[in-house]
Chain A
Amino acid sequence: MEIRTDIRASDLADMPADMQAELEAVSKSRRDFMKVTGMAAMSAVIAGCAAHDVKVKPMLRKPEGITPGVVYDYASTCQMCSANCGTLMKVRDGRPVKPEGNPDNPLSQGGLCAAGQAQLWGLYNPDRLHGPTPKEEPDGWADLDARKRWQTLDNFVAAALKAGPVRLLTGTVSGPGARAVIEKFCAATGARHVAYDACSAWPIAAAHRDTHGQARVPHYRFENADVVFSFDADFLGNWISPIEFARAWSKGRDLRFGRKSMTRHIQFESRMSTTGACADERFRVRNAERGAVLVDLANRLGGSFGEAGKHPVPAADMDRLAKELQAAGRRGLVVSGSHDVKQQRLINWINHKLGAYGSTLELAAFSQQKLGSDEAMAALVKELEAGSVKTLIVWGVNPAFDLPGGAKFKELLGKVTHKIAIGMHADETASECDWIAADSHPHETWNDFEPVRGLYTLAQPTVQRLWDTRPALQSLLRWAGDNDAQRDYRAWLQKHWETNVLAGMPWTTAVQIGVRDRRAELAGAEPAFVGPGDVSGVGSVATGDGIEIVTYESYNLGDGRHAGNGWLQEMPDPLVRVSWTNFAGMSPFTMEKLGVSEGDMVEVKAGDATCMAPVVRLPGTAEDVVVLPLGYGRTKAGRIVHGMGVEQDAVNTETSAIGDNAFPLAGHAFGSVSKTGKTYHRLALLQTHDSQENRPLAKETALELWLKDAKAGNQHEIPPVDVTLWKRWEYKGHKWGMVVDLNLCTGCHACAIACQVENNVPVVGKDEVWRRREMHWIRIDRYFEDDPTTKYDGNPTNVANPEVVFQPMMCQHCENAPCETVCPVIATSHSDEGLNIQTYNRCIGTRYCANNCPYKVRRFNWFTYKHRDLAMNLVLNPDISIRTQGVMEKCSMCAQRIYDGKRAAALHQTKVEDGSIRTACQQTCPTNAIVFGDQNDKDSVVAKLGRDGRNYAVLAEINTRPAVTYLTKVRNRKAKPHETAHEEKAAKRKANEHKGHDH
């Protein structure tokens, strides 16, 4: 059987014309194919739900180019956030089974984040609206069919649109087609469009309006930067377009394949973020002190912005760093997530001073990933207060939840005569509206995007609509009275693209690769710098009562939009490692000062806004700061947030919804933290010990030491003794292996979720995670650097500003696997290609293998983790069997992908090319930190990296001989005393050994 992967533009160029035509035919007939196979699959499960007038018939005549059981990839665009990374959706038998990153997308370049990997949960989520939903059902509603119901809704909307001032509130809408639809709608109805982002980048745009005359968010080009200064910009975690930035950032951080230099990354931040965790140097600067550091920096770069207030960065460091930044010039970049427009103006001045515009950040081809305007939203709120808005259409945003003062927004909605929501869920805002026009899932619709000016991407449907929903754009077209476009949106979009976007590229090609990049046409159109504008008072340190409040968009739930997604609820915060709840993160010293310990429920209060959360330790956070993730506390995000619908009823919530909403506190700089006397008993932590205990597990060193010795930081303290009782494995054919570069891992958890989706790894719920029974096959161990001089004292993270290291840990596929010898029934065994194979059917569940696994990567099915709702079973990957109660499971190195790759090679009678098989974790990794391949192939990347000086096996001294090895983390900073001491000790040991040989 053939695995047809995506067809790239480069492939098309050499393709004969008739074949191109054939491809076009395939693309056209695909929808029909969906109708047949998709419906056949669907209707079996969701009988009665689909009211579409589509006949289910056996596929007597096979559609050309489509083979049942074969996976086809469709290029699309991820819509989990407005970064809009490129995806390739694997579709099998008419249903999408797994998203992958699209390597043809020049922004994400094949990477995809955890949320992107988790998008299919939303498609099959039974909590989605199944059709148009009125707040109060009109008479006879139950008897109406789907068409009539939509008609009733449309009639209501038509009347509402005539009633008076209409406002259309949306999130970021960047696509040329989508924007044309909105323009059409506004023109037809006189509506005004307001774009709103819950976690906006508006201060950046506003600052550029003042400094460059254009309210634009620049497109940051981290790949061009040698020195990056980040002031609270979590660009590897959640800031604007983290996957794109992570990939770009990783290019300068990659020390593999003979590269000898590395960029510098300096982070100034109040909370410990993943970006700060990956920085070379990190300074703890409270939000209130950020301005002072900025002014200090700007003054040292030749500016005169008044006196800088007192800030915690030592003057010597400031001096050194400023010189470094200045030396980098146009290859320097300063970014900030600050919400203070004045600070952003100063940053623009610094970047301008460096000559960075046009090099490390671009305003001509600017980012359209955050188009929301705080000003426009504020104006809308004013209008709502005045009662001048008669009709409000809310599409895809949830201000009643995520607008600071969301409760007030809910009240204001009451003043609007006609409220219509377009959305997939009856969320906090939509449920307040008179009607909800049930939106289709992004996988069921055509759409387009322009994440960066000049870069166009397409999203195409991959499945027949599951329920009686209507895509939002089609609803808008319908209400604008454009019935032709509404009826066949694809045709309309194609025409629109052919006229306005494609500029000569065939539509088919655009659909196949998903991208049309015309950014080159914008070259040289950088707007000029007009001056820093008003930056008065930036250098002063804000003072306030109590504790500084720092909120951030959570890494898993985003701004709360993913709260109904079980995979993401169970994904831990990469630093705190807690899942299924929000928390109040604090430095251990602040905790001591406040007299609270981990798990204590505290009330964070500012003005009349409050948020209850359990305290967790977040070392590295500035003192007197409380950190609250946003996105938790959704009350209307489906069953999951109420503790229902998840397997085993395992979500035992102590409040009605998971966590408490921190958005009301988002606008406050200072507040108070008070103990409630309660304890949060079931803190679902995936890791409870933060220190490596000075064990050589995640090894690291400094760049200067590594340049002297390629094995720096990686010498064995106890050399492995290579002894075995048994005959060695021979591995005559392949020997699969993996190399993980710790230098590139940002702890983003995309691999963990990709693995979970690919391998049907169950979500177990909060209680089970609390019992330490999460099933993730790959976990990201996070260690805070201990002070090496202190011994274990039960509270290991006794350093104010510890360095952090992330270590992805999955089955190490040991050659001398401790698990294999102890299983009494040989349910786990070694393949002749070096894989440690788990035979589920044979497993009787003694758990001895897990006990004997030094890496603790084996996962046991304590119960049968079933989906409550059968529709959710469609999310399962048909290539992988599901496991029942009492069976051990673990990383298989995506054995199914290896078989597929080998089969494809056998079919073509070629050898398996290096790189043709990619594991799920490797595929999605935004920084390419994970490499998989054949260690027997001397030229493979994995074999080359195996010979790298930085390569080491975790726990090599117990002689497990793992097939998964790691590359030492290298930080581009001065060596620390203990690192230098380690090198000296190693050198001495080596000299002694040498002497020993002489004798």
Chain B
Amino acid sequence: MAHHYSELRRPLVLGDKTLHDVTNDVCSSIEGKPSLMWWVGWLATGSVAAMGVGVILYQIYVGIGTWGLNKTVGWGFDITNFVFWIGIGHAGTLISAVLFLFRQKWRTSINRSAEAMTLFAVICAFVFPVIHMGRPWIGAIWIAPYPNLRGPIWVNVRSPLLWDVFAISTYFTISLCFWYIGLIPDLATVRDRAKHWARKVFYGTLSMGWRGSVRHWNHYETTYMIFAGLATPLVFSVHSIVSMDFATSVLPGWHTTIFPPYFVAGAIFSGFAMVLTLLLIARETMNLKSYITEDHLDNMGKIIILTGSMVGLAYSTEFLIAWYSGSTYELFAFINRATGPFAWSYWIMVSCNVISPQVLWFRKLRRSPIFLFIMSIFVNIGMWFERFVIIVTSLHRDFLPSSWAHYYPTWVEIATLAGTFGIFFFLFFCFIRLLPGIAFGEVKGVMKMGRTHKHEHKPAEVSHA
């Protein structure tokens, strides 16, 4: 694989691992007995997920009147959660596809779990457009443009909600395929190591007859490259289209042309924060420090400060344009954000997304796992509130003051949000138990093993400034 490896670079895998060590390290988590920690986590998140499913069924049966929405605020937690989860889903594809195309080798230790995270986040995101409908039992079907005998009645191609359907389902499909193709060589290794017949069947089926021949690798590399090419525009298109749910409306605070880049930056920002959250946990609990090194953390910290600053720029641009537009409604929408009844949510958003990442200018802090973990939680919270601010503060006070209203979420909405976190982490726990959590086939490619070196010495300490 990689032939041009600068000796000035720090090694991407630490600890003088042999190729066999790598395989053993990664496979141990799916071959041995799960740890107590895993069981606790699996059961805890599973219970929360089950509660979430129960609450979802309850609100579908009784009606979404169980939420706190009203005639003025038609979207609240539902679409906030949707955009939040879709945003989370962005980092995975970005790491896998975009960084792949840019030959960022450090991606290999984290891309598998980041992609898994993408899929699980999109699954969680999928829940909300479905359950936010008043009649999901027919809505989930009628949203699809299928041939019918009623006219035929067709979908409205002018509606951004329909674009959403296509954008997200495309994104999910491509991400799934991309992820799965990347898994095949590793699955084959797991199959080859399997002793129990059931494992042989399970991993044998999933690895689709991979034998590791040169021809296989050739096809694999080509396909992987094609999918990376397909997935890359999706990283930008999905959240651009999601942002059009708002940007194409007439509502002050939504009707904004900067939304597509602003949303994409925000999505990458939140996605990286969530990747950090997950990886820092995995790194600590599953002894992956050799693979997810401080350099990884450092790199991700840089992306976070970049995207966080882009988001901050977007926040200030919105205010500038609102003032520049000369529109009463537009200006009011933004002043209301910062000073109205939901000002607290606006300032949570600003503190978490703009102020808190600024500390990452310091290299030492970028390399401190505990600090990064706290910061990533802040960004996760901040990015959830960003969507809440955009949706709720714009809706609750729009054109006609007579209809201005407040929005109080109910326990059902909070439980549903918690439930999707349960689903997300539950799926992640299942994933690290069932599938190789690190793409060891690719990790091996970025190791120094088997490479000829003229001088046997440690890479020089090079400042990254």
Q: Which residues of A contact B (CB under 8 A)?
A: 648, 687-695, 697, 718, 768, 771-774, 779, 781-783, 792, 807, 809, 818, 821-826, 842-848, 850-852, 854-856, 858-864, 885-888, 954-955, 958, 960
Query: A851 contacts B249, CB within 8 Å?
Result: yes
Q: How far is the CA of A709 from the CA of B401 in the complex (A)?
A: 28
**A-B pairs with beta carbons under 8 Å apart, 26 shown:** A687-B403, A688-B405, A691-B401, A693-B332, A695-B329, A772-B405, A818-B250, A821-B156, A821-B248, A823-B156, A824-B162, A824-B165, A825-B143, A825-B153, A842-B142, A846-B133, A851-B249, A851-B395, A852-B249, A854-B400, A855-B399, A862-B63, A862-B65, A863-B65, A864-B63, A954-B400
Out of A697, A773, A821, A886, which one reaches B134, CB within 8 Å? A886
Interface centre among A691, A692, A823, A856 (most CB of B within 10 A): A856
Query: A845 contacts B328, CB within 8 Å?
Result: no
B5 at the interface (CB under 8 A from A): no
Interface centre among B63, B245, B402 (most CB of A within 10 A): B402
Query: B249 contacts A695, CB within 8 Å?
Result: no
Query: B70 contacts A821, CB within 8 Å?
Result: no
Query: A689 contacts B404, CB within 8 Å?
Result: yes
- Given known pairs A809-B400, A818-B250, A824-B143, the reply for A859 and B71 (CB within 8 Å) is yes
B161 at the interface (CB under 8 A from A): yes
B75 at the interface (CB under 8 A from A): yes
Q: Which residues of B contact A (CB under 8 A)?
A: 62-65, 68-72, 74-75, 132-136, 138-139, 142-143, 153-156, 158-162, 165, 245, 248-251, 326-329, 332, 395, 397-406
Q: How far is the CA of A31 from the CA of B64 in the complex (A)?
A: 47
Query: B133 contacts A958, CB within 8 Å?
Result: no
Query: A856 contacts B72, CB within 8 Å?
Result: yes
List residues of chain B with CB within 8 A of the CB of A691: 401
Q: Which residue of B lies closest to A884 (CB)?
A: B135
Query: B134 contacts A779, CB within 8 Å?
Result: no
Q: In the assembled complex, how far is the CB of residue B394 from the closest CB belonging to chain A, in whole angstroms?
A: 9
- Given known pairs A718-B327, A809-B400, A846-B132, the reply for A818 and B249 (CB within 8 Å) is yes
Q: Which residue of A lies closest to B403 (CB)?
A: A856
Query: B139 contacts A845, CB within 8 Å?
Result: yes
List residues of chain B with CB within 8 A of the CB of A693: 328, 332, 401
Q: How far is the CA of A823 from the CA of B159 in the complex (A)?
A: 6
Query: A856 contacts B398, CB within 8 Å?
Result: yes
Q: In the assembled complex, how far is the CB of residue A579 from the closest CB belonging to chain B, in whole angstroms?
A: 14
Number of A-B contacts defined by CB within 8 Å: 169
Q: Which residue of A lies closest to B154 (CB)?
A: A826
Query: A843 contacts B135, CB within 8 Å?
Result: yes
- Given known pairs A844-B134, A845-B139, A854-B398, the reply for A771 and B159 (CB within 8 Å) is no
List residues of chain A with CB within 8 A of the CB of B251: 851-852, 854
Q: How far is the CA of A886 from the CA of B155 in the complex (A)?
A: 19
Query: A822 contacts B249, CB within 8 Å?
Result: yes
Query: B400 contacts A846, CB within 8 Å?
Result: no
Query: A845 contacts B133, CB within 8 Å?
Result: yes
Q: How far is the CA of A840 from the CA of B448 in the complex (A)?
A: 66
Query: B162 contacts A886, CB within 8 Å?
Result: no
Query: A851 contacts B75, CB within 8 Å?
Result: yes
Query: B399 contacts A772, CB within 8 Å?
Result: no
Query: B327 contacts A689, CB within 8 Å?
Result: no
- Given known pairs A822-B161, A856-B400, the reply for A844 and B156 (CB within 8 Å) is no
List residues of chain A with CB within 8 A of the CB of B395: 851
Apart from A847-B75, A862-B69, A887-B135, 5 more pairs, CB < 8 Å = A688-B405, A773-B70, A782-B402, A822-B158, A850-B71
- Given known pairs A772-B70, A782-B402, A855-B399, the reply for A825 and B156 (CB within 8 Å) is yes
Q: In the assembled complex, how far is the CB of residue A745 from the closest CB belonging to chain B, in whole angstroms?
A: 14
List residues of chain B with CB within 8 A of the CB of A863: 62-63, 65
List residues of chain A with CB within 8 A of the CB of B397: 689
List residues of chain B with CB within 8 A of the CB of A687: 402-403
Q: In the assembled complex, how far is the CB of residue A25 from the closest CB belonging to chain B, in whole angstroms?
A: 47
List residues of chain A with CB within 8 A of the CB of B248: 821-822
Q: How far is the CA of A674 from the CA of B245 in the complex (A)?
A: 50
Q: How far is the CA of A379 from the CA of B72 in the complex (A)?
A: 54
Query: B71 contacts A845, CB within 8 Å?
Result: no
Query: A824 contacts B404, CB within 8 Å?
Result: no
Out of B69, B75, B402, which one reaches A779, CB within 8 Å? B402
Q: Which residue of A lies closest to B404 (CB)?
A: A689
Q: In the assembled complex, how far is the CB of residue B405 from the closest CB belonging to chain A, in whole angstroms?
A: 4
- Given known pairs A823-B159, A824-B159, A844-B135, the reply for A695 and B328 (CB within 8 Å) is yes
Q: How far is the CA of A596 from the CA of B132 in the complex (A)?
A: 39
Query: A888 contacts B134, CB within 8 Å?
Result: yes
